[in-house]
Amino acid sequence: MRFMIRISTVVALIAILPQHLMAEIKNTTAEDNFKIVQHKNNADKIEHGIALNNDTSPFYPSRATTGSKTKLTSSMFDSPELCGSCHIEIYKQWKGSMHSNAWRDPIYRAVLALASKSTNGAVDNLCIGCHTPIGLVTGEATPSGENMSEVSNQGVQCSFCHNVSDTTGVGNGAFVLTPNLHGRRLMFGPFKDAQSAFHDTAYSELHTKSEFCGQCHNVSHPFNKLPIERTFDEWKDSWYAGQNIQCQDCHMTMGPGVTKKSGSATPFSKNREQIYTHYFVGGNVMVPKMLGSEQHSNLAEQMLRAAATIEILPKTSLRFETMQTISVKVSNIGAGHKLPTGFPEGREMWLDFKMTDAKGTVFYQLGKIKDGVTEQGTKSFKVILGDKQGNIVDLKLWQADRVLYDTRIPAKGYSIVDYNFVLPKGITSPITVTADLNYWSFPQKIVDFLLGKNTIAVPITKMASATITLTTN
Ligand code: HEC
Ligand code: HEC
Ligand code: HEC
Ligand code: HEC
Ligand code: HEC
């Protein structure tokens, strides 16, 4: 009985629904309407990649912060030489690295001077924050580099990295630097049970992850957010991130590839299953040598040679007087990010492609250096940034507004480059085809501009090479 009534009410309701709804809308009062509900502001979880303002980032436009309410002074940090009195090997490895050179590097200083002048100092803190973080938080560093303490001059150093207590995100120097957190020297590191007579120790998982490096190895334009360097994101989007292979596994190990090495942190502390090295080599062959370390320069060459392979795709013969194609395949087998990565205006990898006749005469070449740059038409692997009008930005990165194109090769990826040409009659067979894969950290022209002509010849590293011999028919 009750069941019947329910059914009939439902039927009745359905029958009257349209008019009923219309009536509702017409008679709506403020009280019946959907409400605006107060909810906590959760925008602080959004990763902006840049510093937003002075309140959250006291060293704006750097994202750096400190865990201290008072201003930090250089006496709160120890020199790498002091750390090196116990951590002997680690100090030797770090000294001469691009981290140890990050502030003194003359190329950097020349670009910094230019950037500071062109922006009336608006980007000073940003640049300083990653190239001498201690110089930033102590307020000692200025583009001229005058009156700085010795510690501030030492770039990305021991007591910076091991006093990072936290991070506020990825990129633009998002570290929290906290020396003497509990009133004494305290070093954050990878061990859960380290004991030292000189400093307290604290386990920090952050130090074992790429996110630690990502604080600085992702650079965005501080005002328009343009991605300028994206080494961390490139890694994050790669196979390596999925396999839990961190930056440390390639850049803090002996030689290229992912290797392990046991050892101890000081000559007098216990043996550990794995000790990470502190060479931090990448592709920079020029600056380490210029500033006195042949070893770091040689290691960088090894790193580059382990990064890529090259092959000329199979072909047995060439024909005269019709369009011919030879394809070259370049694979990124060793870098855990794009190849090349990092500083966009400099880093360039390119193919030097040559054909030689039976007499040994080169009758075709593309990829030579002309006037300090790779010649027009060279097949290069590079990112090119543009300004608001879409013009190519050369060095003046602060004017960059967009990425115009990017031919770099992703981790585990490859690129196939075609050479199309018409073979003139009379070339004597067999023909030798050679493709060299070259790299430089900066074109000679940029270095001449920054440091003056004839100051230094930029080294070119041959990363890989392939040769085939073809007959003609
Ligand atoms: C008097 C010698 C001595 C000096 C000076 C010294 N350390 Fe240590 N440090 C040690 C010893 C011993 C250990 C423990 C190693 C172990 O347990 O494997 C250690 C451990 C560490 C660890 C690992 C901490 C962890 O929990 O993972 C870091 C990082 C570290 N030191 C950094 C530094 C830095 C940076 C400096 C300079 C500011 C420095 N040390 C100066 C002796 C020293
Ligand atoms: C760019 C940041 C950076 C700099 C500069 C740096 N370290 Fe480290 N260090 C690390 C990271 C990251 C680890 C941990 C790697 C891991 O476990 O994945 C580490 C590990 C260590 C350890 C533990 C033992 C080992 O090697 O695995 C000690 C001790 C240490 N560093 C001391 C030093 C000293 C001394 C200096 C200066 C001469 C220095 N570090 C410079 C980032 C840095
Ligand atoms: C405080 C910011 C900062 C942090 C944190 C940092 N780096 Fe760097 N790193 C730099 C700067 C700045 C340079 C370049 C210096 C120059 O070229 O003048 C550099 C250079 C390098 C280079 C050499 C690049 C080349 O062209 O040869 C490698 C490799 C490298 N870093 C790896 C790492 C790894 C791995 C980590 C994490 C364990 C890390 N860095 C953490 C700022 C940082
Ligand atoms: C699988 C190993 C591997 C991993 C993982 C890896 N790298 Fe590299 N990295 C390389 C090799 C090889 C090179 C040399 C070739 C080149 O320049 O790209 C290199 C080069 C670099 C350079 C110099 C690039 C240039 O041309 O100026 C920087 C900076 C760098 N790596 C930082 C990082 C950071 C930061 C991470 C983590 C986010 C990372 N790498 C992860 C292997 C690796
Ligand atoms: C978020 C951290 C960060 C900020 C901010 C930053 N840099 Fe760098 N810079 C780096 C890293 C990391 C590298 C190394 C990348 C590589 O090896 O390709 C680098 C490399 C360079 C190089 C190449 C030096 C060499 O010898 O290879 C120059 C020049 C440079 N930076 C200038 C600047 C200037 C000028 C600013 C400010 C407008 C600036 N940087 C801001 C992290 C930063």
Predicted confidence at residue 329, as pLDDT, reads 98
> Are 199 and 163 in contact, with CB atoms under 8 Å apart?
no
Low-confidence stretches of the chain (pLDDT < 50) are 1-5, 7-15, 22-23
Q: Ligand 1: distance of its center to the CA of 196 in Å?
A: 6
Q: Ligand 3: distance of its center to the CA of 232 in Å?
A: 11
Angle at 97 between CA 341 and CA 412, to 5 degrees: 30
Q: Ligand 4: distance of its center to the CA of 282 in Å?
A: 6
Q: Give the Cα separation of 157 and 102 in Å (integer).
A: 9
- Residue 79: CB within 6 Å of ligand 1? no
List the residue whose alpha carbon is closest to atom 13 of ligand 2: 207
Strand stretches in 230-322, DSSP E: 308-312, 317-318
Token pair for 377: 């038409």
Predicted confidence at residue 260, as pLDDT, reads 83
List the residue whose alpha carbon is closest to atom 30 of ligand 3: 280
Q: Give the Cα separation of 339 and 349 in Å (integer).
A: 8
Q: Give the Cα separation of 395 and 445 in Å (integer).
A: 11
Is the bond leading into 340 cis (omega within 30 degrees of zero)?
yes
DSSP state of 320: B
Ligand nearest to the CA of 136: 3
Q: Give the Cα separation of 126 and 117 in Å (integer).
A: 14
- Residue 85: CB within 6 Å of ligand 1? yes
Highest CATH level, class, for 307-472: mainly beta
DSSP run (H or E) holding 462:
strand 461-472
List the residue whose alpha carbon is closest to atom 42 of ligand 4: 335
Predicted confidence at residue 30, as pLDDT, reads 59
Indicate the top mutation candidate among 219, 297, 439 to test ligand 5's pocket, ranked by most ligand atoms within 8 A of CB.
219
Residue position matching structure tokens 């196979």: 239
> Are 245 and 236 in contact, with CB atoms under 8 Å apart?
no
DSSP state of 423: B
Point out which residues pair with 95 in neighbouring strands: none
Angle at 81 between CA 77 and CA 84, to 5 degrees: 105
Nearest to 307 by CA among 424, 176, 408: 408
- Residue 190: CB within 6 Å of ligand 2? yes
List the residue whose alpha carbon is closest to atom 33 of ligand 1: 83
CATH 2.60.40.10 intervals, the chain: 307-472
Predicted confidence at residue 45, as pLDDT, reads 82
Q: Ligand 1: distance of its center to the CA of 177 in Å?
A: 18
pTM: 0.94
> Are 424 and 321 in contact, with CB atoms under 8 Å apart?
yes
Predicted confidence at residue 346, as pLDDT, reads 93
CB atoms closer than 10 angstroms to residue 259 = 12
Predicted confidence at residue 255, as pLDDT, reads 72
Indicate the top mutation candidate among 158, 199, 268 to test ligand 1's pocket, ranked by most ligand atoms within 8 A of CB.
199
> Are 94 and 280 in contact, with CB atoms under 8 Å apart?
yes
CA 312 to centroid of chain Cα atoms: 30
Strand 461-472 to strand 317-318: parallel, antiparallel, or no bridges (unpaired)? parallel
Q: Give the Cα separation of 340 and 332 in Å (integer).
A: 9
Q: Give the Cα separation of 200 and 132 in Å (integer).
A: 24
Max intra-chain CA distance, the chain? 108
- What residues line ligand 4, using a CB cutoff of 6 Å? 210, 213-214, 217, 231-232, 235, 240, 245, 247, 249-251, 256, 282-283, 303-304, 306-307, 334-337, 339-343, 347
CA 273 to centroid of chain Cα atoms: 29
Residue position matching structure tokens 């070339």: 427
